[in-house]
Amino acid sequence: MATEAKYSIVREVGRGSYGVVYEAVVSHTRNKVAVKRMQCNVPENVELALQEFWALQSVQSQHENVIQLEECILQSGQVFQTISCQYRKSDNHLLLIETCLKGRRCMDPKSACFLWFVMEFCDGGNMNDFLLSRTPDSQLNNSFMQQLSSAVAFLHRNQIVHRDLKSDNILISHSPGGPVVKVADFGLSKICQAKVNVNQHCFSSACGSNFYMAPEVWEGRYTAKADIFALGIIFWAMVERITFRDGDSEKELLGTYICQGKELIPVGEALLGNPNMELQIPLKNKKSMPADLCRLLHDMLMFNPKERLDAFQLEIRIRRISYGKKRQYS
């Protein structure tokens, strides 16, 4: 990275189909940061990178449970240009789209085109690995549910629909008061028009991760309430430690599903096939989940999005559940 005078990359900490994440340090302060590199070699990748930028810059430094963007850097060949977080869809956006649409595929490293995101560094890894490396803890689960509900309500209040909520896309930062969750990975997010109710804005492109997708997402017509369904899957899996093994990575992931013989069917897909199906919540130990939490999960996972809680109702309800009590963590 040609900005190594300002940042020094220490190591790679994550890699996916959309980019590579590194641990780095700010040269003059030695503070740790996370640096995410997204290659912009085709229009689809450009769109993912820019959606992440628009979402993060629009809510920069406003909520402790949303990952903080420090700055964004556009690399074109050997030239690096800082993109101001005050920009909207400006000439930088149009230039980047135009570059890719004209077919400059970056086969030559000297003409490579990337977006580099410099973000706060989360020392606890992702929520999936963090939870599965520890014994179940109702107080910790309660804290995470409250933090995530607050974060999603904040995003929806700011017209941002995440569209890919899952435990792998939630990071953990240690603090004196206990672990702090950070909603991250906004590549599939969308910003709705300011004058439109976020729960009425309809999307038509099915996207996300299968095990967390609401029934209506499978059909390709959905609203922000799809994020609540995904949270419901996360909360249910977190409380009961329900996991599945990802077919591609072979990694154990938190997620709830419906068993049909030996096949694991995502809850949303199963509900789409049988809208009258009664979800068995809790799935395991009947004594492990109080009635108010059970009702909350049912209300988050309703087949009909009109009957499902929205983020603002969830934020209020989650504070009232009897499951777990807040305490300090070391």
- Say how far apart CA 122 and CA 7 lie, in whole Å: 17
Q: Are 52 and 58 in contact (CB under 8 A)?
A: no
Three-state SS for 13-28 is: EEECCCCEEEEEEECC
Phi, psi angles (nearest 5°) of residue 326: -70, 140
Contacts of 168 (CB under 8 A, 6+ apart): 126, 127, 128, 253
DSSP letters, 271-302, are HHH-TTPPP-SSSS-GGGS-HHHHHHHHHHS-
Tokens coding 3 = 């900005």
| Whole-number Å distance between alpha carbons of 204 and 202 | 7
Q: Give me 190's structure tokens.
A: 């969308």
Give the separation between CA 49 and CA 53, rounded to whole angstroms. Answer: 6
The one catalytic residue among 91, 123, 129, 164: 164
Question: CA 79 to CA 194: how far, in whole Å?
Answer: 35
Task: State the pairing for strand pair 32-39/257-260.
Answer: unpaired
Give catalytic status of residue 164 as yes or no. yes
Residues present in the chain in total? 330
Torsion of CA 75, 76, 80, 86, to 10 degrees: -70
Question: Among candidates 225, 131, 136, which has minimal Cα distance to 171?
Answer: 131
Which residues are catalytically annotated?
164
